[in-house]
């Protein structure tokens, strides 16, 4: 009978079973289907038998047999390897279970795409001889493969790109950040181009240098302070007027 009749699968497909005793001894059996290619040609089926976190024996479909790593594991491996029906079942599981369920699991995930959210922002303003730095960020996209490039008046920029970082969010989504170091020119049009499977056409975001993000923040803070100041002044004036009402001045 197949060991993998019920399982939950992932790029590394696995199932673990724990067996405990009242004395605190634990045995664990872990079944794994490990692969990295799209055609599953490198699929490997692993069965690991452990006792108190120590692997006693492991079956590897590439070897086609169990290998013992401890004295009890060696005895069990020898016994299991002699059971031809059991070994044939493990060999068949590579195709009937691992490859079969990997195709099902991958088809439900790999065909899905999520459009990235793209933003262009100023990281550093130009100062004297020091050039400015722009950042193009793409968030919450899937799958991971993505291309970010920069254009200046429609021409590809390469040497000015200082860094590109890809990060996994840990929830199946990804993000990428690309920095561009450039010297602003009058009338120049800087654009960030993002190419991803979720969009049939490249996503193009133009940089608008008219008001930088830092300046927008300063304006917002200044405006908030001005409104707050006017409000406090008005409240003080009203309070003074109320206190002054009905007051009679007596000459000395």
3-state secondary structure 119-153: EEEEEECCECCECEEEEEEEEEEECCCEEEEEEEC
Q: Which of 62-66, 184-188, 220-224 has the lowest mean pLDDT?
A: 220-224
pLDDT for the residue 61: 95
pTM, two decimals, is 0.47
Q: What is the pLDDT of residue 131?
A: 78
Q: Mark whether 187 and 162 lie in a shared domain.
A: yes
For residues 177 and 131, membership in a common domain is answered with: yes
One domain for residues 44 and 73:
yes
Last residue of a domain, one of 75, 110, 145: 110
Give the tens place of pLDDT for each residue, 118-151.
999 988 776 656 678 899 999 999 888 899 999 9
Question: What is the spatial distance between Cα 141 and Cα 115, in angstroms, rounded to a whole number?
Answer: 5
- Please state the domain count of the chain: 2
Of 6 and 130, more confident: 130
pLDDT reported for residue 75: 95
> Looking at the structure, do residues 51 and 102 belong to the same domain, yes or no?
yes
Query: Are 129 and 94 in the same domain?
Result: no
Asked whether residue 60 is assigned to any structural domain, the reply reads yes
Dig out the tokens for 80 from the structure: 């299991």
Q: Higher-confidence residue: 171 or 110?
A: 171
Q: Would you say residue 233 lies in a domain?
A: no
The CATH number covering residue 52 comes to 3.10.320.10
What would the mean pLDDT of 50-60 be, rounded to a whole number?
A: 92
Assess if residue 216 is contained within a domain. no
Query: Same domain for 42 and 128?
Result: no
Q: Which of 106-110, 179-183, 225-229 has the lowest mean pLDDT?
A: 225-229
**Boundary of a domain, candidates 82, 110, 138:** 110
One domain for residues 39 and 56? yes
Q: What is the mean pLDDT of the chain?
A: 80
Domain span holding position 23: 12-110
- Kindly state whether residues 133 and 188 are assigned to the same domain: yes
Domain boundary pick from 79, 110, 141: 110
75-127 confidence digits (pLDDT tens): 999 999 999 999 999 999 999 989 998 888 887 776 788 999 999 998 877 66
Whether 221 shows a pLDDT value over 80: the answer reads no
Does 94 lie in the same domain as 121? Answer: no
CB 162 within 8 A of CB 179: yes
Residue whose C-alpha is closest to residue 90's, from 155, 32, 45: 45
């Amino acid at each position: 009978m197949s060991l993998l009749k019920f399982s939950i699968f992932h790029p590394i497909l696995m199932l673990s079973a724990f067996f405990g005793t009242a004395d605190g001894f634990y045995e664990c059996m872990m079944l794994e289907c490990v692969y990295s290619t799209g055609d599953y040609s490198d699929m490997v089926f692993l069965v690991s038998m452990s006792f108190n976190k120590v692997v006693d024996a492991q079956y590897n479909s590439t070897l086609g047999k169990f290998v013992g790593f401890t004295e009890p594991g060696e005895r069990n491996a020898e016994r299991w390897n002699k059971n031809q029906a059991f070994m044939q079942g493990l060999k068949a599981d590579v195709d009937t279970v691992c490859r079969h369920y990997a195709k099902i699991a991958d088809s439900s995930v790999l065909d899905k795409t999520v459009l990235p959210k793209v933003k262009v922002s100023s990281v550093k303003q130009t100062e004297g001889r020091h050039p400015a730095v722009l950042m193009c960020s793409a968030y919450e996209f899937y799958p991971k493969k993505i291309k970010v490039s920069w254009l200046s008046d429609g021409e590809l920029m390469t040497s000015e790109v200082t860094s590109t970082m890809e990060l996994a969010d840990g929830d199946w989504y990804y993000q990428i950040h690309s920095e561009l170091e450039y010297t602003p020119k009058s009338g120049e049009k800087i654009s960030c181009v993002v190419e991803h499977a979720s969009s049939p056409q490249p996503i193009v975001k133009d940089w608008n240098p008219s008001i930088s993000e830092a300046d927008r923040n300063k304006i917002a803070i200044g405006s908030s302070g001005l409104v707050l100041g006017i409000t406090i002044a008005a409240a003080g004036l009203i309070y003074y007027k109320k206190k002054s009402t009905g007051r009679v001045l007596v000459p000395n």
